[in-house]
Amino acid sequence: MPGRSQRTSGSVAMDDYLEQILHLIVAKGYARAVDISKNLGISQASVTNMLRKLDSEGLVKHEKYRGTVLTDEGHRIARAIIERHETLTRFLRLFGLDEETIYRDVEGMEHHVSRPTLAVIRAIADLLEGNPALLEEARRKVDPQT
């Protein structure tokens, strides 16, 4: 697929798994298939299959007693996925959208945004954060009532 190499990582499903696994590891120190399954709303059998695939690609490994952990490469990719989620969220929050809309849209956008486009959004978010007058002007363009 053209442009594929510009994306942060692999498929949509793999991104979601790596993101969840890192969230679980940060929260609890380990990621269990049952928790991944619950958080993603996916059957445990599918989770087990995906973990096997991620393992064969060197992104996770299974440790006795600890459950699934990320390899260094898996951790690097998961960090990039989460950073991308946070950048898109930060950008939309500047405009005061409701949190539910932001979350839903970010979950969709993050799978399609290329690295160059993400860099543009990050730059605009930085610029608006550093310039309250410009931010106000931008917000007024979106909603002239405010």
Measured at CB, which residue is nearest to Mn ion? 85
Q: Which residue, 40 or 124, is less far from Mn ion as judged by CB?
A: 40
Tokens 């269990």, located at residue = 32
Residue closer to Mn ion, measured from CB, 83 or 129: 83
Q: Shortest Cβ distance from residue 65 to Mn ion (Å)? A: 29
Shortest distance (Å) from residue 20 CB to Mn ion: 9
C-alpha 88/C-alpha 4 separation (Å) is: 19
Nearer to Mn ion, 10 or 139 (CB): 10
Residues 78-107, one symbol each (x = binds Mn ion by CB under 5 A, - = not), give -------x----------------------
What is the rounded distance in angstroms from the CA atom of residue 47 to the CA atom of residue 110? Answer: 21
Q: What number of chain residues touch Mn ion (CB under 5 A)?
A: 1
Strand, helix or coil at 31?
strand
Please state, in angstroms and rounded to a whole number, the distance separating the CA atoms of residues 30 and 24.
6
DSSP string, 57-108: TTSEEEETTTEEEE-HHHHHHHHHHHHHHHHHHHHHHTTT--HHHHHHHHHH
Query: To the nearest whole angstrom, how small is the minimum distance from the Cβ of residue 107 to Mn ion?
Result: 5
Interaction between residue 7 and Mn ion (CB under 5 A)? no
Structure tokens at 104: 């839903």
- Considering beta carbons, is residue 7 or 85 the nearer one to Mn ion? 85
Q: Binding residues for Mn ion, per CB under 5 A?
A: 85
